[in-house]
């Protein structure tokens, strides 16, 4: 097994109690194979899952101030699914440090996505117990920095009207206004077109299967236009 000192450098946390880290890396198969009540990482996984949810929920709440509960929940789900957590575990090389039963080792347990995702949460739980919430939060934000950057567009799509209003109100107290333009197509498959205006100026148009969807599409188009203009000026 690799030296835990190397792993602690990768984690960015120096454990005061290294036994916590060892426990976080101990797969349940060890107890199953020994047919004994040996401790393993499932309890730490439970704790780490809660800590991860709290840290990410707070950051999403603060980063996307106009997103509603549904958008925030969807964004968090994209961050904490098992595929994502296993990817983070692989980047840290956790597989090489797992303490496995012989059977689990022989059947590819070090590369198993479920084992890696569980280990990531377990390690986070161990960091929380060893260093407190601030240490755990720093670890999570460092690990998920790129993921948060990739969520920018997703958050805009989830609530483009709110994002557009926030952007425009930073410039003017006037709120954007939406105007129904037209509807086309048969009754069972209507396409609606709406425009969004600000201070009497049309910013963009959008289409959708409902007026609400068309307004959201117009808001998203306006956001893209305004950001492109800002980027060109900088």
Told to judge if 134 belongs to the known catalytic residues of this protein, a careful annotator would answer: no
Sheet holding 177-184, edge to edge: 177-184, 191-198, 201-208
Told to judge if 49 belongs to the known catalytic residues of this protein, a careful annotator would answer: yes
Torsion of CA 176, 211, 67, 83, to 10 degrees: -140
The CA angle 171-179-162, to the nearest 5 degrees, is 45
Query: From residue 167, how far is each of 65, 183, 204, 219 by CA, in Å?
Result: 12, 29, 15, 11
Structure tokens at 147: 């993921």
Provide CB contacts within 8 A for 9, sequence distance 6+. Answer: none
Catalytic residue among 45, 59, 118, 121: 121
Q: Mind telling me the catalytic residues?
A: 49, 121
């Amino acid at each position: 097994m690799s030296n835990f000192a190397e792993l602690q450098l990768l984690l960015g946390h120096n454990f005061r109690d290294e036994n916590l880290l060892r426990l976080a890396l101990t797969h349940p198969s060890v107890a199953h194979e020994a047919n004994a009540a040996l401790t393993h990482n499932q309890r730490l996984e439970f704790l780490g899952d809660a800590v991860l949810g709290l840290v990410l929920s707070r950051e999403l709440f603060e980063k996307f101030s106009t997103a509603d509960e549904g958008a925030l929940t969807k964004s968090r789900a994209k961050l904490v699914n098992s595929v994502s957590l296993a990817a983070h575990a692989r980047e840290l090389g956790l597989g090489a440090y797992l303490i496995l039963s012989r059977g689990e080792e022989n059947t590819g347990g070090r590369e198993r996505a479920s084992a890696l995702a569980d280990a990531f949460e377990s390690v986070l739980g161990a960091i929380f117990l060893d260093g407190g919430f601030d240490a755990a939060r720093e670890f999570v934000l460092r690990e998920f920095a790129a993921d948060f950057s990739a969520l920018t567009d997703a958050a805009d799509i989830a609530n483009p009207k709110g994002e557009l209003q926030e952007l425009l109100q930073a410039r003017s107290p006037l709120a954007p206004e939406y105007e129904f333009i037209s509807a086309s197509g048969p009754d069972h498959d209507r396409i609606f077109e709406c425009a969004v205006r600000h201070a009497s100026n049309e910013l963009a148009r959008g289409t959708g299967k409902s007026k609400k969807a068309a307004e959201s599409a117009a808001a998203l188009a306006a956001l893209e236009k305004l950001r492109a203009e800002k980027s060109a000026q900088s």
